[in-house]
Structure 1
Amino acid sequence: MDDGTATAPGAYRPGYERVAEQILELIAHTGLRPGDRMPTENELAAQLGTGRTVVREAVKILSALGRVRAQKGRGLYVADDEGMLGTTSWEGFFLPTDLDHVYMLFEFRRVQESAASALAATRATPPELQAIEAAAEMCREGHAAGDADLWTQGDDRFHLSIAAAAHNPFLVSAVREARRLLKQSSTIGLQGTLGGHVEGALEEHAAILQAIRSGDAEAAAHAATVHLDNTLEDYRREIQRRVFG
């Protein structure tokens, strides 16, 4: 029976990450389609030879990734949308200590969000500028209140509002999907924390907003790159602190 603590040589792999992969394989092998009802948590535990607690944690991760939808009182369902970055090969996607993987995801975000910020500087309408500013203010309120959920909500809105102001639906989708994938690692490693870089992030948000408002595409792209690089370093430090002490 899987006790949820086994490790593989050279890498820490919690039981729920391996069970999450097995659930995805089960969905693929049984031909379940988006919207189809899945086995219950108890049934999954029996089929996979593990405990219900481990299955529940795996389901939480898959729900955060948008691959499984849990309906209270009704059960588990295959999510309707795998996302533009959806894949049935999840090897390596459940390794919060794999900093190389995290770096690649941030590298992807740098490309997206520097371009989105530059375009927003030349295309943003007054209402879109107001939406970006409101999102930045929500982050400030979350920081002041020590409310991680409010901060996260504001941060999501800030980056997605900038993408929307770029007037390119592909960028909006790419930014949304990259943030959704990153939340998988955050769910494992950083849930419930604002991180040590939050005050710097507020200043960086302000710099991005100012550059966009001024119509300076080059400055907006640079400010976005600085922000993501600093966020990555904060993420790296926090994961190392939590995992390695």
Structure 2
Amino acid sequence: MGVPGERAVPSEGAEKPAAPYRPGYELVAEQLLTYIAEQNMKPGDRLPTEQGLAQILGATRNVTREAIKVLAAIGRLSVRRGAGIFVAASPGALNDDRLAHFQPTQMDHVMMLIDYRQLIESDTARKAAALATPLEVRAIARSARSSLDAALSDDVQAFALADEQFHDAVGTAAHNLFLRSSVGTIRRLMSQTDILLLHGDVPGSMEAAGKQHLAIAEAVSSGDAEEAAELMQAHIDTTRHQVERKIRDRLFSLTPPVPARVPRR
């Protein structure tokens, strides 16, 4: 038996599994993001034409067009009729140009983002437990309960909405506009990974996430700042393991990806 957590290496001569199916537009979208990073392009910089990008990336014009549409939909490109294709503004309030080079399909970038999320959201929960008003406590509890109810009903869209409301409510209760803005930026970046890499599929158990939301809400309600921070850290850590497993399963799966469902974090 191998060491737990390690992937077995095929013996010499063993047949290697076929590469998993990936739509052409997704591969070209990855190539285009890499091209933007390699050219050190900044928000507002103009890209070559659709035909020019197709030639640079070695893709057909139709597939390149679909890749551009996807990247525009997630906020990475801006297509202006009659003007051209541009690198979109960074999603963060501080507009750090380096965020324009975030690669939502690269495992190291995704894990760095989750590390950052864990730091930001655990401190946000700590401050929320110390500073939340009664109205804000009720908003956190209400959204946490809604997320669990949606999970138990297997309602992905309702869960996505309640999940967003929960994390936003915690950010509001922290009474720190920079923390709240950072939480929003992280969620927007994670949504790019949901769409491009996970095809919008839920990476793990909605019910488990809903129960964690409730536990965090209870810690905030009781004013236990350290407990709230630890529970939020554990919640994000669960997301980390779920995303890692989902990506690993996808990379070694031989079946085509399921069409996108509503992303959640």
Q: Output the TM-score relative to the length of structure 1.
A: 0.75
| 1:56 lines up with 2:56 in the alignment | no
Q: 8 Å contact 1:211–1:219 — kept in the other structure?
A: yes
Shift of 1:76: 6.5
* Per-residue deviation, residues 39-86 of structure 1 (Å, max 9, x unmatched): 87567546765333234234423532x3335689x9977646542364
Higher RCO structure (Cα 8 Å, ≥6 apart): 2
Partner of residue 95 from structure 1, selected from 84, 87, 105: 105
Quick one: structure 1 residues 81 and 94, their matched pair in 2 at CA, closer, same or farther if it must change by over 3 Å? closer
* Per-residue deviation, residues 167-195 of structure 1 (Å, max 9, x unmatched): 00000111111121122211123234333
Higher helix share: 1
Question: Corresponding residue for 1:220?
Answer: 228
Rounded Cα–Cα distance in structure 2 between residues aligned with 1:175 and 1:46: 38
| 1:114 lines up with 2:127 in the alignment | no
Question: Corresponding residue for 1:177?
Answer: 185
Rounded Cα–Cα distance in structure 1 between residues aligned with 2:128 and 2:156: 27
Question: Corresponding residue for 2:251?
Answer: 243
Quick one: structure 1 residues 69 and 160, their matched pair in 2 at CA, closer, same or farther if it must change by over 3 Å? farther
Rounded Cα–Cα distance in structure 1 between residues aligned with 2:63 and 2:144: 37
Question: Corresponding residue for 1:16?
Answer: 29
Q: What letter is aligned with 1:213?
A: S
Shift of 1:156: 1.9
Cα RMSD between the aligned structures? 3.5
Quick one: structure 1 residues 71 and 155, their matched pair in 2 at CA, closer, same or farther if it must change by over 3 Å? farther
Q: 8 Å contact 2:77–2:86 — kept in the other structure?
A: yes
Question: Corresponding residue for 2:162?
Answer: 154
Quick one: structure 1 residues 168 and 32, their matched pair in 2 at CA, closer, same or farther if it must change by over 3 Å? closer
Q: Percent identity?
A: 32
Rounded Cα–Cα distance in structure 1 between residues aligned with 2:168 and 2:154: 22
Shift of 1:197: 2.6
Quick one: structure 1 residues 88 and 48, their matched pair in 2 at CA, closer, same or farther if it must change by over 3 Å? farther
Structure 1 unaligned runs (5+)? Answer: 6-12
Q: What letter is aligned with 2:179?
A: L
* Per-residue deviation, residues 200-233 of structure 1 (Å, max 9, x unmatched): 1111111100000111101100110111111111
Shift of 1:155: 1.5
Quick one: structure 1 residues 152 and 75, their matched pair in 2 at CA, closer, same or farther if it must change by over 3 Å? farther
Q: 8 Å contact 1:85–1:177 — kept in the other structure?
A: no
Q: 8 Å contact 2:129–2:225 — kept in the other structure?
A: yes
The structure with more radius of gyration: 2
Q: 8 Å contact 1:148–1:192 — kept in the other structure?
A: no
Name the count of aligned residue pairs: 228
Shift of 1:18: 1.2
Q: What letter is aligned with 1:110?
A: Q
Q: Output the TM-score relative to the length of structure 2.
A: 0.70
